[in-house]
Amino acid sequence: MAGSLTTPPPKRYLTAAFYLFVDLPDCAQFKTPLQALCDAEQVKGLILLAPEGINSTIAGPAKGVQTVLGWLRAQAQFALLQHKESWSSKAPFRRMRVRIKKEIVTMGVPGLRPASQAGRYVSAQDWNALIADPDVLLVDTRNDYEVELGSFEGAINPGIRSFAQLPAWLVLQGLFDPAKPRKVAMFCTGGIRCEKSTALLRSQGMQEVYHLEGGILKYLETVAPEVSRWQGECFVFDERVSVAHGVQTGSHQLCRCCRQPLPPGALDSIQYEPGVSCPRCFGLTSETQKKSARERQRQWERAKAKAASQESTDGESTDNNHATKTGHV
């Protein structure tokens, strides 16, 4: 008997991720039309609007997502908008939200204008030459749990738990002192945090400030492993958890409680319980919160088992139908 044939589910949902720093004092005017357009096109996700620009990830039918992107680029403020695409067989989001915020990425420094103050872009192809310069101070602008998974050779880890802590660290390093001019190169996952960080340095009078265009993800996508100066893997804020060279899914797992990667040895720790806690967050939740998390985990596991059973039943039906039609019974 010939082996059964299984047709993988079609990847029907297009995901688009994008951001743009642009002076947008009237950002609120876009909220209602964007929400209405996304609803009409069955597009879901989150769009953040702020006086400094737009930051978003949306998903839905390809035509709908492209319609939303086209509408945005037809507005003069978003004409330079670029996006990154990926596909999935399941809808990544359940609802659509358009929100007005003070910042599209929270740093907490008023008056900053990344659209005009950001440092100089350096392409992935030119990045190695820049950071090989011994006079360049290389700064990783990401959170400590991200840096733990990997970083560029020789990069400084500020040891911050949130992006809003970075300005204070920069002050402590004396980088705002005009009497001590430095060349500074900054990087982050996709570009948005280092773009804002370099804007902060330039607002304080620094001139030689650089950042990696497209972030670590663009570097891993385009730079060959044999010449790469990246060490380890890169944490990403989706179900892949981490990626390696070629933007291939990495080896790390996620704690479903704190939404951070599991630290080394976590799976062998008595503080690790799937969906409830890991050594990183065990002491941050009460026993009441842990009980609630256990119940959510049980519900999730039941739902997952039910879905797997249904897929198996559907798959057998599809295989039998295929076999009947082709004579492979």
Closest C-alpha to 146, from 188, 209, 193: 188
Q: Three-state SS across 103-114?
A: CCCCCCCCCCCH
3-state secondary structure 39-101: HHCCCEEEEEEECCEEEEEEEECHHHHHHHHHHHHCCHHHCCCCEEEEEECCCCCCCEEEEEC
Does the pTM surpass 0.85? The reply is no
- What is d(CA 68, CA 98) in angstroms, rounded to the nearest whole number? 13
pLDDT in 10s for each residue of the chain, 329 residues? 444 455 555 668 888 889 999 999 999 999 999 999 999 999 999 999 999 999 998 999 999 999 999 999 999 999 999 998 888 777 888 899 999 999 999 999 998 999 899 999 999 999 999 999 999 999 999 999 999 999 999 999 999 999 999 999 999 888 877 777 789 999 999 899 999 999 999 998 888 999 999 899 899 989 999 999 999 999 987 777 888 888 888 888 888 888 888 888 888 898 888 888 888 889 888 989 888 889 888 887 887 777 666 655 555 444 444 433 333 32
Q: What burial letters (b/e) apply to 264-276, b meaning 16+ CB within 10 Å?
A: eebeebeebbbbb
Dig out the tokens for 202 from the structure: 């330039």
Active site includes 38?
no
The amino acid at 67: T
- The confidence score (pLDDT) of residue 321 equals 43
Q: What angle do CA 270, 272, 274 make, to 5 degrees?
A: 140
Tokens found for residue 86: 């990926």
Q: In the chain, what are the domain boundaries?
A: 13-100, 114-227, 254-301
* pLDDT given at position 188: 95
Q: What is the pLDDT of residue 10?
A: 67
The residues near 125 (Cβ < 8 Å, ≥ 6 apart) are 222, 223
CATH topology of domain 114-227: Oxidized Rhodanese; domain 1 (3.40.250)
> What is the per-residue pLDDT for 257?
84
Please report the sign of the dihedral spanned by the C-alpha atoms of residue 296, residue 298, residue 301, residue 306: negative
* Residue tagged active-site, from 188, 234, 255, 257: 188
- Environment class of 65 (CB within 10 Å of its CB; exposed 0-12, middle 13-18, buried 19+): buried
Rounded CA separation 14/8 (Å)? 17
CATH code, 13-100: 3.30.70.100
